[in-house]
């Protein structure tokens, strides 16, 4: 009897502990197994060009199919991946999988389609980044301008080793560069003169604030002007409703990404792409 009670108490104790520091350790343990267990999946969110009236690209966004917790978004595990040194392997998988998927779409006839892949500042600092990315793109037989690498302004600000050199090399090989979450950091616009960039993405926080034609943030107007002045492609992120789409279109923003067009979904096939074009047009 006494023995059984003790056992239960021990069990209760360990259950309480789980609400404390154990989850992180469990999560870390699970994260180490995620890659070998094939638990990661890429979702793709289309980027729609108003001018061309079709999907021109798709951003690859990682998801973790956790065996107990279900589908997890990057916000709940990418920091841990970075802290535990797992990011390198995960990033390599993302690049490989994104290019594999894109080559399938190209083979199916959508040869104009681009894919955008997020690269963290830490991953960008790896000396072999350019070589690794070029190798993957070449191995999948993709035109290099079909890949766009998304970096945040942090990469440009944090003095990542060899950042200018790497951007130049990537651009020389034809790979495209986008600045993600543009306008959200304390950045100097001066880098736009010296860094070879193709695209800026207006952060969704600015889009969210759009409440009609006469309430457009001057920041959005400024960003549209910057894109035009520097001859950069512009993508509005997080476009959720038709009012936002109309306001942005009138301002001259061509490419859009957001729930209005489609949520990120697993492996878009060309049928699905056509459905999106329908919904958007
Ligand atoms: P991000 O690159 O700025 O990606 C856009 C985020 O906004 C995505 O969140 C997307 O699902 C979400 N989103 C798209 N449209 C809408 C909309 O209309 N409304 C709202 N409210 N949200 C929208 P997600 O997938 O959770 O990714 C979050 C961040 O995690 C990404 O932000 C990116 O910085 C990072 N991330 C995602 N995948 C990867 C990856 O493979 N590698 C790295 N290094 N980072 C990644
Ligand atoms: Mg992104
Ligand atoms: Mg963004
Ligand atoms: Mg972001």
DSSP type of residue 78: H
CA-closest residue to ligand 1 atom 7:
238
Length of the chain in terms of residues written? 281
pLDDT at 1: 38
Tokens 């589908």: give the residue: 71
**pLDDT digit string, tens, across residues 46-86:** 999 999 999 999 999 999 999 999 999 999 999 999 999 99
Residues in contact with 267: Cβ distance below 8 Å, sequence separation at least 6, in sequence order: 42, 44, 101
Alpha-carbon gap, residue 150 to 32, rounded angstroms: 25
The two structure tokens encoding residue 128: 């072999």
Bridge partners of 46?
58
Alpha-carbon gap, residue 33 to 25, rounded angstroms: 13
Residue 185 phi, psi (nearest 5): -110, 165
Phi/psi-derived region of residue 63, left when phi > 0, alpha when psi is between -120 and 50, beta in every other case: beta
Residues in contact with 166: Cβ distance below 8 Å, sequence separation at least 6, in sequence order: 124, 129, 130
CA-closest residue to ligand 1 atom 27:
74
pLDDT at 5: 45
**Residue among 239, 243, 273, 244 at smallest CA distance from 258:** 239
pLDDT at 269: 52
pLDDT at 272: 56
Residues in contact with 231: Cβ distance below 8 Å, sequence separation at least 6, in sequence order: none
CA-closest residue to ligand 1 atom 35:
74
Whether 89 has a pLDDT exceeding 50, the answer reads: yes
pLDDT band at 19 (very low <50, low <70, confident <90, very high): very low
What is the CA(72)–ligand 1 centre distance, in A? 12
**Of the residues 61, 124, 136, which should be mutated to test ligand 1's pocket, given the most ligand atoms within 8 Å of the CB?**
61
What is the CA(204)–ligand 3 centre distance, in A? 7
- Higher pLDDT, residue 11 or 260: 260
Least confident residue range of 9-23, 37-51, 177-191: 9-23
What is the CA(187)–ligand 1 centre distance, in A? 21
Distances (CA, A) of 149 to 195, 206, 280: 14, 22, 25
Average pLDDT of span 258-275? 74
Neighbours of 263 (CB within 10 A): 11
CA 174, 53, 258, 66 torsion: positive or negative?
negative
Whether 9 has a pLDDT exceeding 50, the answer reads: no
Whether 120 has a pLDDT exceeding 50, the answer reads: yes
pTM of the model: 0.90
183 CB within 6 A, ligand 1: no
- Residue % of the chain over a pLDDT of 70: 87
**pLDDT digit string, tens, across residues 128-138:** 999 999 999 99
pLDDT band at 192 (very low <50, low <70, confident <90, very high): confident
Whether 121 has a pLDDT exceeding 70, the answer reads: yes
What is the CA(229)–ligand 3 centre distance, in A? 22
Alpha-carbon gap, residue 93 to 90, rounded angstroms: 5
């Amino acid at each position: 009897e006494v023995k059984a009670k003790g056992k239960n108490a021990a069990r209760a104790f360990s259950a309480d502990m789980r609400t404390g520091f154990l989850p992180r350790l469990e999560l870390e343990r699970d994260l180490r197994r995620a890659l070998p267990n094939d638990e990661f999946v890429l979702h793709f969110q289309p980027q729609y060009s108003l001018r061309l009236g079709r999907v021109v690209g798709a951003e690859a966004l990682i998801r973790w199919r956790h065996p107990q917790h279900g589908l997890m978004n990057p916000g709940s595990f990418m920091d841990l991946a970075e802290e535990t040194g797992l990011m390198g392997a995960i990033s390599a998988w993302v690049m490989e999988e994104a290019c594999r998927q894109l080559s399938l779409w190209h083979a199916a006839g959508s040869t104009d389609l681009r894919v955008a892949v997020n690269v963290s500042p830490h991953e960008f600092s790896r000396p072999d980044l350019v070589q690794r990315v070029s190798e993957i793109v070449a191995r999948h037989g993709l035109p290099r301008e079909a890949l766009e690498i998304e970096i945040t302004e942090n990469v440009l600000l944090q003095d990542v080793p060899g950042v200018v050199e790497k951007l130049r090399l990537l651009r020389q090989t034809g790979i495209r560069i986008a600045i993600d979450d543009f306008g959200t950091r304390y950045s100097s616009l001066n880098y736009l003169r010296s860094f070879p960039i193709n695209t800026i993405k207006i952060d969704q926080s600015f889009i969210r604030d759009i409440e009609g034609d006469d309430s457009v943030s001057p920041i959005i107007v400024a960003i549209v002007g910057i894109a035009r002045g520097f001859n950069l492609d512009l993508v509005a992120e997080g476009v959720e409703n038709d009012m936002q789409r109309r306001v942005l279109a009138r301002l001259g923003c061509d490419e859009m990404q957001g729930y209005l067009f489609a949520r990120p979904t697993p492996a878009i096939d060309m049928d699905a792409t056509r459905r999106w074009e329908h919904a958007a047009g």
